[in-house]
Structure 1
Amino acid sequence: MSADGEGEATGTVLIVGLGNPGRQHLYNRHNVGFMAVDKLAARHDIDLRRVQSRALVGSGRIAGRPVILAKPQTFMNLSGEAVGALARFYKIAPEALLVVYDELDIPFGALRLREKGGAGGHNGMRSIIQHLGQEFARLRLGIGRPPGRMDPAAYVLQDFGRDELPAAGEMLTTAVEAMESFVRDGIQLTMNRYNQSSVGSEQ
């Protein structure tokens, strides 16, 4: 087993979607990272039901490269426990890790990639940075700010509204294309392709 892992390690890409486990959270805005990884898995016929390091994990190939897809089952605030363990087990290089998650400060339906950086107030990212540092790529999926004086913590745990579903679907389709681009071409080219609409936003 370890020999197989070592043989794949140098070329393996780990893509992690963030969310909360449980049927009650399935369609929450906070779970859009799970949704994106599920859609990528379905497109490439990757079974995401294996349990490893407190995550649902699947392995396959995308663009000829070995890929591990993962959805931590620790709840959002402890995501780093699962991601750190998987990154160590598969000997993932920092540049071969992509974390996909929701972002309040990006307009709904838009997405942004970053090569590295801080948590930006996201508890799942804060946990991962505690375990792995900041030197890994992230794909942030815009869910927009809550209306009025609504508590952001309550907003992210709401399901997408019926009128939001078409835009959410388009965002997830683009997210799949961006994840495939990351596997194939790395973060810099992928940022060039998918951050073109981010003029004036932080990178």
Structure 2
Amino acid sequence: MYLIVGLGNIGKEYDGTRHNIGFETIDYVSEKKGIAVKKKEQNGLTGVYHEFGQKIMLVKPTTFMNNSGLCVAGLMNFYDIPIENLIVIYDDIDLAAGVVRIRKRGSAGTHNGMRSLIQHLGSPEFSRIRIGIGRPEMGSELVHFVLGRFAKSQFPIMEKAVIDAVAGVDYFIKDGIDLAMNRINGRKNTAVEQAEKTENDGNDGSDRK
């Protein structure tokens, strides 16, 4: 059995925020697979589907971000899921908006949800899909940034990022973490490239005196 966890905060006031991109990805997977993520268990909402000869559980913790590990550890213990069958999807300020990276392991960085998971699982040795949300402007508070919403101009970038993350989930289950990393980490988000090109074209020095 595989556990696919998206991190976020429960509540309509958090819908569409940068910190909820993990939830958004789980919602996209559930829609694509035709299942509902609504069963309440172990401080989370879950939904199950079968693919590639495997039973796969989608998870949205309902503990709020800072206590996400309580839900994940509870489900893994209850269903006796090995840590190598866990992958966690979450937002990352250390990646540019729209960039997706898969890793086998790693630290929590500044992410409180990942800190909670590592604490409750007792190990950082689990796979994760990081979706870049970019960094706040100088002087802006991090909490306001991650709980804010994407600019309309970023919608295409983030939609493509979610699609890539979902593809990463499929690769992870079907072919393993190494191939998932090879397939996804080398991908280029054309929407990101176009945004960068537009920004660079607007700063080509042609208006300098």
Q: Do Structure 1 and Structure 2 share a fold, with TM-score over 0.5?
A: yes
Q: Secondary structure at the match of 2:31?
A: helix
Match of 2:152 in 1: 162
Query: Hey, which bits of structure 1, 4+ residues long, moved more than 6 A?
Result: none
Question: Gapped runs of 5+ residues in structure 1?
Answer: 1-11, 199-203
Match of 2:203 in 1: none
Match of 1:90 in 2: 79
Q: Secondary structure at the match of 2:49?
A: strand
CA distance in 2, matches of 1:82, 1:37: 15
Match of 2:129 in 1: 139
CA distance in 1, matches of 2:129, 2:141: 24
Displacement of 1:148? 2.7
Match of 1:39 in 2: 28
Instruction: Pick the aligned partner of 1:122 from 82, 91, 111.
Output: 111
Q: Which has the larger radius of gyration?
A: 2
CA distance in 2, matches of 1:93, 1:131: 14
Q: What amino acid is the match of 2:82?
A: A
Q: Secondary structure at the match of 2:80?
A: coil
CA RMSD, aligned part only? 1.1
Conservation of the 8 A alpha-carbon contact between 1:44 and 1:62: no
Larger relative contact order (Cα-Cα within 8 Å, sequence gap ≥ 6): 1
Match of 1:192 in 2: 182
Displacement of 1:114? 0.7
The within-5 A match list for 1:3-14 is 12-14=1-3
TM-score, normalised to structure 2, is 0.87
Q: What amino acid is the match of 2:182?
A: N
Q: What amino acid is the match of 1:159?
A: R
Q: What amino acid is the match of 1:178?
A: G
May I ask how many residue pairs the two structures share in their alignment?
187
Match of 1:17 in 2: 6
